[in-house]
Amino acid sequence: SQKIEQNSEALNIQEGKTATLTCNYTNYSPAYLQWYRQDPGRGPVFLLLIRENEKEKRKERLKVTFDTTLKQSLFHITASQPADSATYLCASNTGFQKLVFGTGTRLLVSP
Amino acid sequence: NAGVTQTPKFQVLKTGQSMTLQCAQDMNHNSMYWYRQDPGMGLRLIYYSASEGTTDKGEVPNGYNVSRLNKREFSLRLESAAPSQTSVYFCASSEVLVGVNTGELFFGEGSRLTVL
């Protein structure tokens, strides 16, 4: 079955370091991947989209990569700040023309 | 600019009761969605409406009904609530149907439903 998976364990890092979150997919080839940020008690907010023919996308301190060989997307936050603490969700289209979400990875940035 | 507005924000129901979650968007988007979010399960699509006048089932439609009242509004109804429907419900909208097209989802703040 088609799956999109994120590490369910929280990622704890020190302020100023680069946070790297992983999204893996199996049994399908998405045309694109999206990343969302979700704060506690709030709805997800769109951050970035990367298409299958793009290796890398950047937006300010955010960088997303898409490796179709490894079937993986990496989401990087450089110079991380405590305000970056949140849950980050990846999503992709599937062969059934739907958008499916991973379970999210919680990021905690300590001062 | 309110974006996507959901009501109510919190609701407690007894098993067997019915209720409707309301959603409205002011971005003139064509497509609207209802998701539920449960711990460890991620966001799962319940129903969606590609455009005004159409609705389709998502991944977990059982126990729910929807109505696309007009371009702005998309409601989710629980006819006979069950404890398994305890969840956080999110309404979302997009300019075009995501999955088929690239495009971002705009989410509401969520409705937290508890069924006793």
pLDDT confidence of residue B49: 95
- As a whole number of angstroms, the distance between CA B59 and CA B36 comes to 10
CB contact under 8 A, B42 and A101: yes
Is the Cβ of A45 closer than 8 Å to some Cβ of chain B?
yes
Over residues A43-96, the pLDDT tens digits come to: 999 999 999 999 899 999 999 999 999 999 999 999 999 999 999 999 998 766
Cβ–Cβ under 8 Å, residues A45 and A38: yes
The average confidence (pLDDT) of chain B is: 94
pLDDT confidence of residue A35: 97
CB contacts of A30 in chain B (<8 Å) are none
Residue range B42-49: mean pLDDT, rounded: 94
CB contact under 8 A, B105 and A44: yes
Check pLDDT > 90 for residue B97: no
* Confidence bin at B114 (pLDDT 50/70/90): very high
pLDDT confidence of residue B1: 65
Q: What's the sign of the alpha-carbon dihedral B21, A4, A50, B102?
A: negative
The structure tokens 């409406």 sit at B49
* Confidence bin at A16 (pLDDT 50/70/90): very high
Q: How are beta strands B10-13 and B111-115 bridged, if at all?
A: parallel
Task: For residue B107, give how far its alpha carbon lies from the nearest alpha carbon of chain A (Å).
Answer: 5
- CB-closest option in A46, A93, A98 to B104: A46
Q: How are beta strands B56-57 and B4-7 bridged, if at all?
A: unpaired
Check pLDDT > 80 for residue B102: no
The structure tokens 């407690």 sit at B12
Q: Which of B107, B68, B88 is nearest to A37 (CA)?
A: B107
pLDDT confidence of residue A97: 65
Over residues A20-49, the pLDDT tens digits come to: 999 999 988 888 999 999 999 999 999 999
